[in-house]
């Protein structure tokens, strides 16, 4: 097990809500997080990145940066998503190996898994088909992180692993309607509908897809434990809760917590996306010790935070 106390840990994407949670957890554990803020270093520029890493000399690196959004964002910008996520991931592997970083852990998302109707997504099935069409560019770009872990280990004996994190939500997320994902979009809709006393809220799709949702602080804790304990570069490690709910149930939790009393209308002309995405956590249990908060309680906490920070959260990119 890696002892991170007093160690320098670079966190890319540190201004994102997952990155912020990771930084807080690192500080709790006595590590020295190196915060890589948006615009500070261009991760798509390899030489600039190498120069930066040579200057700050991190012991370890957690790659939490990403360029992504919900279904509509993925539909609008597939090429940008593919290019940006792929290049920054490859550059980070190359630069970290070059300057002597002891270990790199890269964060993938469940959209990297194939959409083949599997009830549970297991690590050994990671390459068994294509990601869902609605998120394919993002999913394939994230798969490159796992491929890079294997390649840099084989050629350079570089210690690099990847984790595959389920759908996250929580405080400090963006609620910008172009960039936010399902939880953020729905919370914003219902909060605004209550304030404006709207009679109904439109939700996309049928509400039938099953999704796994994990509170961001729980995910951050699991990722840091994976940095400390997970060493298998041949396969990703799933990080999730092991249970899922329907989008309809999610909407009910949000509606109840917000106190909205109007009607919910489902626009079935809009896409559902993949019908089920539940990560197997059997392997995770061998390395990670967490007690995830329930979705209902996590949603309530997120709504309280959002209601107090709405202006900034709505504008966050």
Q: Any idea where the domains of the chain sit in the sequence?
A: 8-171+212-242+277-293
pTM of this prediction? 0.93
Confidence of residue 143 (pLDDT cuts 50, 70, 90): very high
Q: Alpha-carbon distance 255 to 249, whole Å?
A: 10
pLDDT tens-digit map of 111-135 = 899 988 888 999 999 999 999 888 8
Helix ranges, 157-261 (H): 182-195, 216-229, 247-258
pLDDT score of 179 more than 80:
no
Predicted confidence at residue 134, as pLDDT, reads 85
Average pLDDT over residues 237-249: 96
- pLDDT value at position 265? 95
- 14, 29, 15: which is closest to 61 by C-alpha? 14
Cβ proximity of 123 and 238 under 8 Å: yes
Distance CA 285, CA 310 (A): 36
Per mean pLDDT, which range of 33-37, 105-109, 146-150, 301-305 is the poorest? 33-37
Structure tokens at 43: 């991760």
CB of 115 closer than 8 Å to CB of 129: yes
* In the predicted structure, residue 217 carries a pLDDT above the cut 90: yes
Residues forming a β-bridge with 7: none
Residue 81 scores a pLDDT above 80: yes
Tokens of 31: 């590590």
**pLDDT at residue 245 in the model:** 95
Q: How many helices (H) and strands (E) does the chain have?
A: 10, 13
Distance (Å, whole) CA 62 – CA 33: 10
Phi/psi of residue 11, nearest 5 degrees: -120, 110
Q: State how far the Cα of 41 lies from the Cα of 81, in Å rounded to an integer.
A: 18
Strand partners, 213: 167
Question: What pLDDT does 118 receive?
Answer: 82
Q: Is 291 exposed, middle or buried (0-12, 13-18, 19+ CB in 10 A)?
A: exposed
- pLDDT in the model for residue 314: 85
Give Cα 130 distance to the centre of its chain: 19
C-alpha Rg value of the chain to the nearest Å: 19
What is the tens place of the pLDDT at every residue in 261-305? 999 999 998 888 778 889 999 999 999 999 999 999 999 999 999
CA distances from 63 to 18, 43, 179, 188 (A): 11, 11, 19, 28
Second CATH level (architecture) for the domain 8-171+212-242+277-293: 3-Layer(aba) Sandwich (3.40)
Which value, to the nearest 10 degrees, does the dihedral of the CA atoms of residues 313, 18, 47, 148 take? -140
């Amino acid at each position: 097990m890696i002892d991170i106390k007093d160690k320098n840990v670079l966190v890319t994407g540190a201004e994102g809500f997952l990155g912020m949670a990771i930084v807080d957890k690192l500080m709790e554990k006595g590590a020295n997080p190196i915060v890589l803020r948006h615009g500070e270093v261009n991760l798509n520029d390899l030489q600039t990145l190498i120069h930066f890493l040579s200057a700050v000399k991190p012991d370890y690196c957690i790659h939490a940066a990403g360029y992504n959004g919900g279904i509509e964002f993925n539909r609008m910008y597939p090429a940008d998503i593919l290019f940006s996520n792929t290049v920054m991931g490859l550059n980070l592997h190359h630069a970290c190996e070059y300057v002597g970083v002891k270990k790199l852990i890269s964060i993938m998302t469940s959209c990297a898994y194939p959409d083949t109707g599997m009830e549970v997504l297991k690590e050994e099935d990671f390459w068994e088909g294509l990601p869902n069409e609605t998120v394919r560019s993002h999913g394939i770009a994230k798969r490159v992180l796992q491929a890079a872990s294997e390649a840099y280990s084989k050629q350079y004996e570089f210690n690099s692993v990847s984790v595959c994190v389920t759908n996250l939500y929580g405080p400090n997320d963006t609620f910008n309607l172009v960039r936010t994902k399902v939880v953020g979009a729905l919370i914003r809709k219902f909060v605004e509908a209550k304030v404006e006393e709207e009679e109904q809220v439109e939700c996309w799709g049928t509400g039938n897809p099953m999704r796994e949702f994990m509170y961001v602080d729980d995910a951050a804790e699991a990722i840091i434990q994976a940095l400390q304990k997970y060493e298998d570069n041949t396969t990703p490690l799933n990080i999730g809760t092991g249970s899922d709910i329907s989008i309809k149930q999610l909407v009910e939790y949000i509606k109840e917590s917000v106190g909205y009393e109007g009607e919910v209308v489902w626009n079935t002309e809009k896409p559902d996306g993949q019908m089920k995405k539940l990560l197997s956590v059997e392997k995770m249990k061998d390395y990670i010790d967490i007690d995830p908060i329930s979705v209902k309680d996590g949603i309530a906490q997120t709504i309280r935070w959002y209601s107090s920070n709405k202006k900034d959260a709505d504008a966050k990119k």
